Amino acid sequence: MLDTPTQYKHIQLQGDGVPIIAGTTMKVVELVTSHITYGWSPEELHFQYPHIALSKIYSALAYYWDHKQEIDDDMQRRLEFAEQMRRNAPPSPLQSKLQAQNF
């Protein structure tokens, strides 16, 4: 699958339509999740992800704000999937051990 350029200089769409930051494997949704969850500014995002140029971070955030509903929906789907996987996962060995000890 070839990546498709977008009107955002540093954002490409993967073959499946998922926006990524050019020259990296980081999805825009991953960067935005850090921005929203931790309240990190673009400069803090750059500090946390020094391999991503600040210009690319700003481009990813601009892409997010122009495609907010689509990316918010993607984040919600990912959250629901993770919750479903958590509910369906067998107990961990530690959890089983603690349950056996009535903790």
- Residue 2 pLDDT greater than 70, yes or no: no
Q: Name residues whose C-beta falls within 8 Å of residue 40's C-beta, 6 or more positions apart in sequence.
A: 34, 48
Q: What pLDDT is recorded for position 91?
A: 87
pLDDT over threshold 90, residue 71? yes
Query: Model-level pTM?
Result: 0.77
Query: Which is more confidently placed, 41 or 17?
Result: 41
Q: For residue range 26-41, list pLDDT tens digits in order.
A: 999 999 999 999 999 9
User: What are residue 41's phi and psi, to 5 degrees?
Assistant: -75, 170
